[in-house]
Structure 1
Amino acid sequence: MTPEDLSAAIRTCLLEAVDAGEFAVDVPSAVRVERPRGREHGDWSTNVAMQLAKKASMNPRDFATKLAQRLEQIDGIASVDVAGPGFLNITLDAASAGELAKTIVEAGRSFGRGEALAGRRVNLEFVSANPTGPIHLGGTRWAAVGDSLARVLEAAGAAVTREYYFNDHGAQIDRFARSLLASAKGEPAPEDGYAGGYITEIASTIVENHPGVLDLPDDQAQEVFRAEGVDRMFGEIKESLHNFGVDFDVFFHENNLHDSGAVERAIAKLTELGRMEERDGAVWLKTTEFGDDKDRVVIKSDGEAAYFAGDIAYYLDKRERGFDTEIIMLGADHHGYVGRMMAMCAAFGDTPNENLQILIGQMVNLVKDGAPVRMSKRAGTVVVLEDLVEAVGVDAARYSLTRNSTDSNIDVDLDLLARRTNDNPVFYVQYAHARTCNVARLAHEDGVHREDGFDPSLLTHESEAALLAILGDFPRVVAQSAELREPHRIARYLETLASKFHKWYDQCRVRPAMNDGELDEVCDLHRTRLWLNDATRQTLANGLDLLGVSAPERL
């Protein structure tokens, strides 16, 4: 019996009780079941009696007791205890609990996936680093977390579009072009410009491709360096992300907002809604009416569009493309940006934190030999994506950046991630998967084949119950990770699953034992345990895939 099966069974009992006149309540469309804190409290727990008792004008324990009596009649449920103010602690019989192993294996890659977000179109914008240099560690964290979040949302049924906002309109591009030109001339970088080996590389390539470019007037030469420099830098960014396992469906150019008339359309719509105001020679969006600390300039007094004009145009453009939810992932220096964006969302008549959601990520520090790593081999001043991948590889980089809440600063210990030991979390989880593969290979060599038998009632060892319990929790963890936009929950779950599996491996044999030089006879216990082993392998693989991390068969 899966958690979903149990949830459906509880709901059926509630409906039957209502029909019998025991309760007078509206039965919810779904009943939530959770793992109790301790195994002594059973396999699953629900507080549905506490939720509904007041509506039924009943004492919660009395409500729970009546519901427990019905649940105890269901095949597969061994016992139901009423605890505290009205919790229901449910224990499944061994056969019912063990059936989960076969369910997982037969579900394969689909195990853990659900339909909670079915029909929801989500635009997920992340990384969006300016094309003026390699991706720094903050952007690298968003690359790992963003791609994992997209996978988790898709696992919950959403249709997700991964989008990169290509900021090719603004002062930073001018500084980049001036920096390239200065490097080509052998001059120091401008005071507000960019430096590093990558600037020298790109500048040299442009000079090689355009032999007479330095003979042009500076303004003309700068345009050559701007056009080709941005194109080359962005090409490198795309390649770096692809090599990191991150690909985008849409690369949206900021210039398009200004060239296509999107800014004017957004202003016209907000004006029609009565949200705009002319004041002091400028055009303002009245965001204070929607909780912002001050109104925001959209068109400056000189007639030029303010930066915020691009924001409102981009938001409306996505909504017009049919997205129900826009999720934007921003760096730690953008906290002050949230209020105005949510006010803008509300000004369009949409719902903040539903139609528009903003995630803020904190800083990342690399540590080696107990000290911070501050310099990049290529960028010079900051550590970038390639530095991290070169040090520990894609899998360890992605896993380490995703396993913590984005609300927290993290220190990535390069020495730890290079170790093939259990204190390295990515190795610990990948080793568990590789071990399940090895168990299956050796079991097959000994004549243990799943298709020859399955008796879930034989899975009675304490470690088997614990392993089955954590396996059954995977769909809930995936759904919660999607709901809360927190893919780090997947990583923490996998570490717990790996721990339960390693303990089970140490205590329960899948292969027949060797006695006096001969193997014991293969029996249904061996076959059934192989189903449990393979269910663990599938769940580990599915979880690692949600993080964009490989599931190796050997380590």
Structure 2
Amino acid sequence: MTPEALADLVRTAVAQLLADRGLDTAALPEQVTVERPRNPEHGDYATNIALQLAKKVGVAPRDLAGWLVEALQSQKAIAKADVAGPGFINLTIATEAQGAIVEDALKDGYGTGGELQGKKINLEFVSANPTGPIHLGGARWAAVGDALGRILQARGGEVTREYYFNDAGAQIDRFVRSLIAAAKGEPAPEDGYAGTYVSDIAAEVLRREPGALSDPETVRKVGVGLMFDEIKRSLHDFGTDFDVFFHEDSLHQSGRVEEAITKLKANGSLYEKDGAWWLRSTDFGDDKDRVVIKSDGNPAYIAGDIAYLVDKRGRGFDLCIYMLGADHHGYIARLKAAAAALGDDPDSVEVLIGQMVNLVSNGQPVRMSKRAGTVITMEDLVDAVGVDAARYAMIRSSVDSSVDIDLDLLRKQNNENPVYYVQYAHARTSSILRNGADLGVTPGEDYSLLTHELEGKLIRTIGEFPRVVASAAELREPHRVARYLEDLAGAYHRFQTHDECRVLPRGDEETTPLHQVRLQLVSATRRVFAAGLGLLGVTAPERM
């Protein structure tokens, strides 16, 4: 029995209890919470529904809990129910009912759901300036954003992954000047970009267009294009691909920025002061009004953001998620304010802010890139530890906090390395299934035989997977899936290494139904590992 099924069973029992006793059934919440207790001796699950309802229906919490325990103990799926503390209810699931979890996990689509069905989601992430290789912050968003897209899709969302190329503005001008200087063999401008990648691109520009130095616009077009291509390639090699590459410059060239500004002027959301045009963003929750048109008549950066939001919503997206770096915290309020000023729903905009990433080796920070010169790049990280370890390390921590990536740890081929720990667990399940096939052992379905504590722990952990994925989607937190997989690996390793939980017969030992049903449990575990790693964009090796 999955936690969701148990929650439904408890809710049905509570509804019947309230009706039978003439109590207010309207007080019953739409969803009942069941959770794993911290102490497994208290049972498989616990619920606080009696504490939630007691005051609303005018009954003491322990009395209500006691009535509910009596009702639940008559259910075949419940082996034991008892009252704890001020009114908590601890529940132990019947062995036969736990078999339903194994059966569910063996079905295609385990962990998927439909709560986002019909919702069109624009997920914009990375969007690094096209002036150099992707740095560690961009690498974090490449891994987390791709994983989030997979998770949202698993719960029914129609996700478009989008990369916003900032190819308009001063940073591109500095990049072009840097290319020209490198092509001439001169030092980079004081405000320019250094590193061997600049020289490499400059040399390629001259190879393709020998006369480019006489035409800076050619340097811009070819050089920025080459940088775009390299960014796309490195992202693809990292396992992250996009559906749309959107160019900021297209907003200005097409007149869509002017159209958005005209609309805001018409509805009174812009006002003129000191020769500039300002958005009344404080009217919509921002901490200050924002300049949209500068006093020199040029659009400020937010003008492009406003036009971009109009464009996204015009393409039919119900939700626009922006994944931005730590220095963009102010964008949360300003983008929501822009939506409101346009007469749109501010809740159609979500902004996720990611914190810094630091590399550590031999206990010391790693600061210098071999190629970029000034910052560590995504390719530096991949060269050091590989794609799987790099992605997993970026995903397994909440983006709300900065993270130190220990290169020495990620190079280890042992259980100290979290990605190795999870992948090795999957490989072990694959190995057992191969060995079982060689021995002629077929999976069985007599789940009543799975009575060992470690078997129950593994089954209940498998049962948590759909809820973890749903929570990761709702909270936009892919790290929950990674941490879950580590819990599952722990539960599996403890089960697999315990003498009393041997899966396959040894020597001349006869195959028993217990061997067969344990093999079925291993098969279910393997499928969950593969599904979870797939959501993270990390491979599930069958041999290690």
Matched, 1:445 2:434: no
The match for 2:302 is: 308
Q: Cα offset for 1:349?
A: 4.1
Quote the Cα distance in structure 2 between the aligned partners of 1:280 and 1:381. Answer: 39
Q: Cα offset for 1:149?
A: 0.9
The match for 2:191 is: 192
Alignment match of 2:520 (pick from 528, 531, 550): 531
The match for 2:24 is: 24
Paired residues for 1:138-177 under 5 Å: 138-177=137-176
Paired residues for 1:109-128 under 5 Å: 110-128=109-127
Alignment match of 2:239 (pick from 227, 241, 245): 245
AA partner of residue 170 (structure 1) = G
Task: Compute the TM-score of the two structures, normalised by the length of structure 1.
Answer: 0.94
The match for 1:544 is: 533
Stretches of structure 2 that go unaligned for 5 or more consecutive residues are none
For the Cα contact (< 8 Å) 1:102–1:532, is it kept in 2? no
Q: Cα offset for 1:11?
A: 2.3
Q: Cα offset for 1:521?
A: 1.2
AA partner of residue 127 (structure 2) = S
The match for 2:38 is: 37
Paired residues for 1:274-423 under 5 Å: 274-352=268-346, 354-423=347-416
Matched, 1:512 2:505: yes
Quote the Cα distance in structure 2 between the aligned partners of 1:273 and 1:523. Answer: 77
Q: Cα offset for 1:441?
A: 1.0
Quote the Cα distance in structure 1 between the aligned partners of 2:20 and 2:117. Answer: 34
AA partner of residue 53 (structure 1) = A
The match for 2:14 is: 14
Quote the Cα distance in structure 1 between the aligned partners of 2:9 and 2:100. Answer: 16
CA deviations over 1:179-226 (Å, ceiling 9, x no partner): 111111111111101111111111111111112233x2xxxx211110
Distance 1:348 1:21, change over 3 A: farther
For the Cα contact (< 8 Å) 1:123–1:325, is it kept in 2? yes
Aligned to 1:326, the other structure's residue is in SS state: strand
Aligned to 2:321, the other structure's residue is in SS state: strand
Q: Cα offset for 1:343?
A: 2.4
CA deviations over 1:312-366 (Å, ceiling 9, x no partner): 11112212222222111111122233332232233334454x3211111111111
For the Cα contact (< 8 Å) 1:168–1:255, is it kept in 2? yes
Quote the Cα distance in structure 1 between the aligned partners of 2:19 and 2:25. Answer: 10
Aligned to 1:297, the other structure's residue is in SS state: strand
The match for 1:84 is: 85
Aligned to 1:55, the other structure's residue is in SS state: helix
Quote the Cα distance in structure 2 between the aligned partners of 1:447 and 1:427. Answer: 30
For the Cα contact (< 8 Å) 1:3–1:33, is it kept in 2? yes
Between stretches 57-66 and 474-483, larger displacement belongs to 57-66
AA partner of residue 202 (structure 1) = I
AA partner of residue 503 (structure 1) = R
Paired residues for 1:203-282 under 5 Å: 203-214=202-213, 216=214, 221-282=215-276
AA partner of residue 120 (structure 1) = K
Quote the Cα distance in structure 1 between the aligned partners of 2:70 and 2:118. Answer: 38
AA partner of residue 547 (structure 1) = L
Aligned to 1:255, the other structure's residue is in SS state: helix
Stretches of structure 1 that go unaligned for 5 or more consecutive residues are none
Alignment match of 2:475 (pick from 454, 468, 484): 484
Matched, 1:457 2:448: yes
For the Cα contact (< 8 Å) 2:331–2:351, is it kept in 1? no
For the Cα contact (< 8 Å) 1:25–1:55, is it kept in 2? no
CA deviations over 1:461-506 (Å, ceiling 9, x no partner): 1111111111111111111111111111111111111011000001
Aligned to 1:54, the other structure's residue is in SS state: helix
Give me the identity figure in percent.
59
Q: Cα offset for 1:409?
A: 1.5
Aligned to 1:466, the other structure's residue is in SS state: helix
Alignment match of 1:521 (pick from 504, 510, 521): 510
AA partner of residue 246 (structure 1) = T
Q: Cα offset for 1:525?
A: 0.3
Q: Cα offset for 1:21?
A: 4.3
Quote the Cα distance in structure 2 between the aligned partners of 1:124 and 1:262. Answer: 21
For the Cα contact (< 8 Å) 1:285–1:297, is it kept in 2? yes
Matched, 1:179 2:178: yes
Q: CA RMSD in A?
A: 1.6
Task: Compute the TM-score of the two structures, normalised by the length of structure 2.
Answer: 0.96
Quote the Cα distance in structure 2 between the aligned partners of 1:126 and 1:502. Answer: 36
Quote the Cα distance in structure 2 between the aligned partners of 1:319 and 1:62. Answer: 53
Distance 1:351 1:70, change over 3 A: farther
Q: Cα offset for 1:79?
A: 1.5
Q: Cα offset for 1:18?
A: 4.1
Quote the Cα distance in structure 1 between the aligned partners of 2:402 and 2:482. Answer: 17
AA partner of residue 497 (structure 1) = L
Quote the Cα distance in structure 2 between the aligned partners of 1:59 and 1:467. Answer: 36
Quote the Cα distance in structure 1 between the aligned partners of 2:2 and 2:400. Answer: 33
Quote the Cα distance in structure 2 between the aligned partners of 1:274 and 1:465. Answer: 63
